[in-house]
Amino acid sequence: MELKPGNKVKQHLEQKTANREIQTARLRTLLSHVDNYDELPSDEWRTHIYEIALSRYLEDLMRHLTGQYCEVEVEVRDE
């Protein structure tokens, strides 16, 4: 018996994928206007971009290793 995701699960995954694509496009747009990472307006921007990039890398790695979508959220803290 093959398990298939229900409509709500499928819609949720489609929305997450769409949101990810939007965030990635925004990130690319932002970075296209910056010649150097250090030229970003603030540490907050740099941290946010780092969190997004690290999240994407870990999501792609988990998808590669498990063959399944896995949402990863990264928070960078200065301690």
- pTM for this prediction: 0.45
Nearest to 70 by CA among 59, 56, 55: 59
4: left (phi over 0), alpha (psi -120 to 50) or beta: beta
pLDDT digits (tens, 9 = 90+) for 25-60: 777 776 666 666 666 677 777 777 777 777 777 888
Per the structure block, which two tokens stand in for 70?
Answer: 């896995």
Buried b (16+ CB within 10 A) or exposed e, 46-76: eeebeebeebbeebeeeeeeeeeeeeeeeee
pLDDT one-digit tens code per residue, 43-52? 777 777 777 7
Average pLDDT, the chain: 72
**Amino acid, single-letter form, for residue 28:** R
According to the model, what pLDDT value does residue 27 have?
72
